[in-house]
Amino acid sequence: MNQTITSSISIGSSCGPAAESLELSINGRRTTVRADPAMTLAEVLRDGLSLTGTKIGCERGACSACTVWLDGEVAASCMTLVFDARGRSITTIEGLARGELLHPVQHAFVEHDAMQCGFCTPGMVMTCAALVDRHPQCTEEEVRAAISGHLCRCGTYTNIFKAVLAAGQQQHGGTDGGCRGEEGPTRHSSHGILLSDAKLRWYCGTWDWLSGWPPSDGD
Ligand code: FES
Ligand code: FES
């Protein structure tokens, strides 16, 4: 997480306040952007930096699809002005796995089929990962409370509860972040099917939801 890559992009509308330069720390990388001060962090992540794992649903703080971490705390990126993210450590769903080694919550979502369309999944995973990292012995009631602000139109809540509790047990078992540190299982479904790169990106939340529905194992 110490890598520093500086890139400069310019985003924002042609009207309104002039774009200004700011530096962001995203997934351990420093990035310089020029952005309209009225832009939200979600807009900059998606439109400016192509970090489309973060989804935008309601754009008003009601669905939590856009959840990221700011200094390790969950935050709605649609309700965060990008300038307010200066000087903070931003973690998106793209920064949760270590390469192909999934966070235990990501792995558990795969194992328990805790998604259907996947649109809510990146936000769900960010919140659940924060919970499990801090409180691996969480109860179902605590999982319910943690994701109470998340809307899943597909109604996958039951499997999400199972997945988070399983990830917590794995964390509490003393392994290094559950599936992290293992090679191989991260690329297999619960039925032992080798996951394609496309499907792995889907489970990691890095699949561009608008460009495919959903990816097949042959993709
Ligand atoms: S898109 Fe941010 S809370 Fe719904
Ligand atoms: S899996 Fe479709 S919205 Fe949650």
* 56 Cα nearest atom in ligand 1: 1
Per the CB < 8 A criterion, the answer to whether 112 and 163 are in contact is: yes
> Domain spans of the chain?
8-95, 104-203
Q: What is the 3-class SS of the chain, one letter each residue?
A: CCCCCCCEEEECCCCCCCCEEEEEEECCEEEEEEECCCCEHHHHHHHHCCCCCCCCCCCCCCCCCCEEEECCEEEEHHHCEHHHHCCCEEECHHHCCECCECCHHHHHHHHCCCCCCCCCHHHHHHHHHHHHHHCCCCCHHHHHHHCCCCCCCCCCHHHHHHHHHHHHHHHHCCCCCCCCCCCCHHHECCCCCECCHHHHHHHCCCCCCCCCCCCCCCC
What's residue 174's pLDDT?
56
If you take atom 4 of ligand 2, which residue's CA is the nearest one?
152
Mean pLDDT of 139-163: 97
Q: Is 204 left (phi over 0), alpha (psi -120 to 50) or beta?
A: alpha
Strand partners, 98: 101
**60 CA distance to ligand 1 centroid (A)?**
5
Least confident of 7-21, 118-132, 153-167, 188-202: 188-202
Per the CB < 8 A criterion, the answer to whether 212 and 198 are in contact is: yes
CATH fold for domain 8-95: Ubiquitin-like (UB roll) (3.10.20)
- Whether 177 has a pLDDT exceeding 50, the answer reads no
Q: How many Cα atoms sit within 13 Å of 26 on the Cβ side?
A: 26
- Whether 178 has a pLDDT exceeding 80, the answer reads no
Judged by its nearest atom, the ligand closest to the C-alpha of residue 153 is 2
At 46, give phi and psi (nearest 5°): -80, -50
pLDDT classification of 183: cutoffs 50, 70, 90: very low
Q: What is the pLDDT of residues 5-60, one digit of tens each?
A: 555 556 665 566 788 999 999 999 999 999 999 999 999 999 999 999 999 999 99
84 in ligand 1 pocket by Cβ < 6 Å? no
What's residue 186's pLDDT?
39
pTM of the model: 0.80
Q: Which CATH number fits domain 104-203: 3.50.50.60, 3.40.50.1110, 1.10.150.120, 3.20.20.70?
A: 1.10.150.120
**57 CA distance to ligand 1 centroid (A)?**
5
65 in ligand 1 pocket by Cβ < 6 Å? yes
160 in ligand 2 pocket by Cβ < 6 Å? no
| Chain-centre distance for alpha carbon 138 | 20
Judged by its nearest atom, the ligand closest to the C-alpha of residue 62 is 1
What's residue 217's pLDDT?
46
Per the CB < 8 A criterion, the answer to whether 56 and 42 are in contact is: yes
Cα 214 to Cα 200: distance, rounded to the nearest angstrom: 11
At 29, give phi and psi (nearest 5°): -115, 140
Cα 43 to Cα 41: distance, rounded to the nearest angstrom: 5
Compute the mean pLDDT over every residue in the chain, rounded to the nearest whole number.
Answer: 82
**140 CA distance to ligand 2 centroid (A)?**
19
Judged by its nearest atom, the ligand closest to the C-alpha of residue 66 is 1
126 in ligand 1 pocket by Cβ < 6 Å? no
Q: What is the pLDDT of residues 62-79, one digit of tens each?
A: 999 999 999 999 999 999
